[in-house]
Structure 1
């Protein structure tokens, strides 16, 4: 790669790393897996940078890459057999941290595509159209996956799941 494109790539990645780590953590729920997901995404981005650096909405393209990498990892899952489950962590003290832990555990039990839709819609606060673009599906599919995902969460959590935030028509 020419040094000019390297500089553009580094500027893009340095400017977006925080947001990418946040999205990856919201998808994975684990800091180490999130770091791996970000690393995988920016590595693939580097390999494709000369072709895609001029894409109209580069952030959406990178988000799509990350979600696809996340879904691929969920499909593979073989590493869990080799490594076993992660070590137990200390129980949270109380309050919001406990709610986040419970919600994260419940979200991990939802099918991966529904999990991705819920994270993108409610934790990353993306519109239905943006999620559809990232996942490469119709807006109707995003809406039905959202509905099915919320239903699954309600079954897992009972009445503990909070109602989605009410905002404008998104």
Structure 2
């Protein structure tokens, strides 16, 4: 039996979803690709165990979160979006809102950004988010509160949408 049997199918089926999560966590396409590649390498090395009775997608998502936080701690990576482009007539309203939101997300701490991505993009409960991040429920609640407060301050026009 091939040690990686089923791994290629898993990657084909879940790669786009995992890439979206990696991008939301990092805010940069190239960093997201590197993050996903690193995590998929880790998933492949544990594939035999994950394929038998584990949950490879849950493992991959938790690994994305943990690896991103680890990279941010070590490298102090500067996220893109520090400067918003001039709003011209070529940008429609949705694009400007999206850029403003990406800019605001880039201003959050790694933990705050992770909480927002897991809670509001991935639609995890507070308990699931705490488990994925390896933190307490109280930490998830407080980081969510601080992150939303900061996002509201940075993008007040989006609060009522």
Shorter chain as denominator, the TM-score bin is: 0.7 to 0.9
Provide the aligned C-alpha RMSD in A: 2.5
Aligned residues: 156
Deviations 1:108-134 (A, max 9, x none): 111100110001111222222221221
| Equivalence for 1:111 | 109
1:160 aligned onto 2:151: no
Give 4+ residue runs of structure 1 displaced > 6 Å after superposition: none
CA separation in 1, counterparts of 2:101 and 2:53?
A: 36
1:122 aligned onto 2:120: yes
**Unmatched runs of 5 consecutive residues or more in structure 2:** none
Report if aligned partners of 1:107, 1:153 keep a CA contact under 8 Å in 2. yes
1:1-170 matches, cutoff 5 A: 2-3=1-2, 5-77=3-75, 93-157=91-155, 159-162=156-159
> Helix, strand or coil: the match of 1:6?
coil
CA separation in 1, counterparts of 2:154 and 2:25?
A: 18
TM-score of the superposed pair, with normalisation by structure 2: 0.83
**Unmatched runs of 5 consecutive residues or more in structure 1:** 165-170
* C-alpha distance 148-21 of structure 1, shift in aligned 2 (>3 A): same
* C-alpha distance 12-141 of structure 1, shift in aligned 2 (>3 A): same
**Cα drift, residue 42 of structure 1:** 0.2
**Cα drift, residue 79 of structure 1:** 6.4
TM-score of the superposed pair, with normalisation by structure 1: 0.79
Q: Which moved more, 1:57-66 or 1:35-44?
A: 57-66
CA separation in 2, counterparts of 1:155 and 1:79?
A: 23
Deviations 1:65-92 (A, max 9, x none): 0011111121122666xxxx79x89657
